[in-house]
Chain A
């Protein structure tokens, strides 16, 4: 069964009803990490994070320490925190901003100190009305406390944090689109090169973009050392991590567990975690890391929850959201709905993404609702191939950002794993269920 011995790093106080308040935060070790950090040299703080080997929690899984040190050519000007969380079935950052906003704010201040930036923008998904209010309140409290503003805790370090609301567009989670949105524009991802915002980011200046969960880990890491963090987990996937479990399980929710030490099966079936599939049905497929990821069949349930481990099997852990589909699930409908999402959320710049997503969505709709033709199955695969040539993982892309090559994942997975279901849809003239 699951290994649940690891300490809670980011969810340590969420069981308190007042976990979002400064009072509770201070009573549970709040701002101690920051105070400690301020006694250290900034590069020592960064080194601690580097040692923790904290992989970014936004989806790409790039080590935060390396992002801070290696990519920069010039001093970083801005820290931008990505709280856009819109990847379907991902709801961990939602929990962190609503239930522990001070931890996020403290993490941001620590990171800003390590990077020596003087402005942080926390970009939060606009639909998080409560989260926006709570984080703004936490920022206000931090100013009041002296943890923000000029000469933080009487150190030589000054910092300003601005909470920036998004307005409903999944693509703004992509870091360059997020920067465009912060600049007040449409969330059109920027064309690469330059490949990293750390080279050219907000207002054309070097910028670090990190995820909310990534930031929320920092107070603990500084208080307890990077080594303590690295001692948890396994391989490159150190520490604990938030997994958002959704779909046909008895206890959907966000669980903080040690990486690698636990498997998909542990997460889904442990009574303290997912507690099994609804009605004890058999699992048909799981989506291991957000809807951009290719699906896994039940034969991979014993795969450890580690970044490299999942990548080796041709998918990704991505944003840490796991969706369980059971034998009652129509995979055509599921893949159609995911494609509909991409077609709505494509920013519209690149032809293959804009037109490809719409075309596939309409063809899948036909398939699900009657009107599917046998030749549509090959057509769908070929359209997928035109968006992500070769249909490999990681994908090749014909587009500016990786939303495009994510479109085929679900359709390609569904067809290659459950071709019979498609044939049945065609023969039955719609969904047989």
Chain B
């Protein structure tokens, strides 16, 4: 029934359990859906809608608010190049143009071999390595056309596979550990502590 693979579905259910309301899990779930399919497929969206008790239109509309979610298939590597102010001052536009030629795809497009999708991004918060480049949201810190070509060659050769998983995979560290106590118990402890604190504040007055 489920479109998610067994492991993704299990992780999805774990994520939902982390929040008081299922809808809160929307963004992490969409990332998971993207991890499985590389983009947000209709089936993935439907499953997120089910897990969050919302409608497909609502999930899709919410996803479309966020740049990292892709509603259509993208390349194995999504290359993002920043042209915002710091990168503009360091030649971001020129690097973007170079990348477009080097990858053989327009900005927003995907190369014919399906390997690369090129995006012009807003500031990626790595301005000391301007112009800033990310591949699948991993910083590659290649600021010159030559360095860029080198990274592209490595990506093609697969030598960066360990550092840069294919598009969609975001957090590879699984949550381990948790509160290991009933929420009700914690809440009641907290109430006692707050009451004690307020009593002390009262006294101090």
State the A residues within 8 Å of B (CB).
Answer: 41-43, 75, 85-91, 93-94, 116-118, 125-130, 132-133, 136-137, 139-140, 142-144, 148-151, 156-160, 162-170, 181-187, 203, 244, 246-248, 252-254, 287, 291, 321, 323, 325, 329, 333-334, 337-338, 341, 344-345, 347
Report the Cα distance A127→B67, complex, angstroms. Answer: 10
Beta-carbon contact of A158 and B186 below 8 Å: yes
Closest Cβ neighbor of B132 among chain A residues:
A91
0 or 1 for each of B173-200: is its CB under 8 Å from A? (1 = yes): 1111111110100110110011001001
The tally of CB-CB contacts under 8 A between chains A and B is 205
Nearest Cβ distance between residue B119 and chain A, in whole angstroms? 10
Can you report 23 A-B residue pairs in the complex whose CB atoms are below 8 A from each other? A88-B123, A89-B123, A91-B126, A94-B125, A116-B193, A117-B190, A126-B66, A127-B124, A129-B136, A133-B173, A150-B181, A159-B179, A160-B178, A165-B171, A167-B30, A167-B31, A168-B68, A184-B26, A184-B62, A185-B23, A247-B85, A252-B86, A341-B85
Beta-carbon contact of A42 and B193 below 8 Å: yes
Nearest Cβ distance between residue B25 and chain A, in whole angstroms? 6
Nearest Cβ distance between residue A70 and chain B, in whole angstroms? 13
Beta-carbon contact of B27 and A156 below 8 Å: no
Report the Cα distance A258→B13, complex, angstroms. Answer: 46
Report the Cα distance A169→B122, complex, angstroms. Answer: 9
Beta-carbon contact of A246 and B127 below 8 Å: yes
Q: Residues of A contacting B85 with CB < 8 Å?
A: 88-89, 246-247, 287, 291, 323, 334, 337-338, 341
Tell me which residues from 131 to 186 in chain B have a Cβ below 8 Å from any Cβ of chain A. Answer: 134, 136-139, 170-181, 183, 186
Report the Cα distance A165→B24, complex, angstroms. Answer: 11
Which one, A139, A157, A186, A347, contacts B175 given CB within 8 A? A139
Report the Cα distance A333→B92, complex, angstroms. Answer: 13
Q: Residues of B contacting A126 with CB < 8 Å?
A: 27, 31, 66, 68, 137, 170
Beta-carbon contact of B177 and A149 below 8 Å: yes
Top 9 A-B pairs, shortest CB-CB distance: A143-B177, A184-B26, A168-B67, A150-B181, A167-B66, A184-B23, A168-B68, A246-B86, A246-B127
Q: Residues of A contacting B139 with CB < 8 Å?
A: 130
0 or 1 for each of B6-36: is its CB under 8 Å from A? (1 = yes): 0000000000001111111111101100000
Report the Cα distance A137→B172, complex, angstroms. Answer: 10
Nearest Cβ distance between residue B22 and chain A, in whole angstroms? 8
Report the Cα distance A287→B84, complex, angstroms. Answer: 13
Beta-carbon contact of A43 and B197 below 8 Å: yes
Beta-carbon contact of A169 and B179 below 8 Å: no
B101 at the interface (CB under 8 A from A): no
Report the Cα distance A163→B31, complex, angstroms. Answer: 13
Report the Cα distance A162→B28, complex, angstroms. Answer: 11
Q: In the complex, given contacts A143-B176, A150-B186, what are 11 additional A-B residue pairs having Cβ atoms less than 8 angstroms apart?
A: A75-B194, A89-B86, A116-B197, A118-B187, A132-B170, A143-B178, A151-B181, A163-B171, A166-B27, A337-B83, A337-B85
Report the Cα distance A63→B89, complex, angstroms. Answer: 34
Which one, A75, A94, A291, A338, contacts B126 given CB within 8 A? A94
Beta-carbon contact of A334 and B88 below 8 Å: yes
Assign chain B's interface to a size class.
Answer: 35 or more
B201 at the interface (CB under 8 A from A): yes
Beta-carbon contact of B173 and A183 below 8 Å: no
Q: Residues of B contacting A344 with CB < 8 Å?
A: 122
Report the Cα distance A125→B125, complex, angstroms. Answer: 10
Beta-carbon contact of A156 and B130 below 8 Å: no
Report the Cα distance A129→B52, complex, angstroms. Answer: 24
Q: Residues of B contacting A137 with CB < 8 Å?
A: 173
Closest Cβ neighbor of A335 among chain B residues:
B85
Beta-carbon contact of B66 and A169 below 8 Å: yes
Nearest Cβ distance between residue A184 and chain B, in whole angstroms? 3
Which one, A87, A291, A329, contacts B89 given CB within 8 A? A329
Closest Cβ neighbor of B23 among chain A residues:
A184
Given known contacts A165-B171, A167-B67, A341-B122, is B86 in contact with A184 (CB within 8 Å)? no
Closest Cβ neighbor of B183 among chain A residues:
A118
Beta-carbon contact of B179 and A165 below 8 Å: no
Which one, A125, A157, A323, A345, contacts B193 given CB within 8 A? A157
Beta-carbon contact of A186 and B136 below 8 Å: no
Nearest Cβ distance between residue B163 and chain A, in whole angstroms? 9
Report the Cα distance A181→B69, complex, angstroms. Answer: 14
Closest Cβ neighbor of B163 among chain A residues:
A130
Given known contacts A41-B200, A149-B177, A184-B62, is B86 in contact with A247 (CB within 8 Å)? yes
Given known contacts A165-B27, A167-B27, A167-B31, is B68 in contact with A129 (CB within 8 Å)? no
Q: Residues of B contacting A156 with CB < 8 Å?
A: 189, 193
Q: Residues of B contacting A325 with CB < 8 Å?
A: 89
Report the Cα distance A259→B104, complex, angstroms. Answer: 48
Q: Residues of B contacting A253 with CB < 8 Å?
A: 128
Report the Cα distance A128→B136, complex, angstroms. Answer: 10
Beta-carbon contact of B123 and A87 below 8 Å: yes
Report the Cα distance A86→B123, complex, angstroms. Answer: 6
Report the Cα distance A185→B201, complex, angstroms. Answer: 38
Nearest Cβ distance between residue B32 and chain A, in whole angstroms? 10
0 or 1 for each of B43-72: is its CB under 8 Å from A? (1 = yes): 000000000100000000111011111000
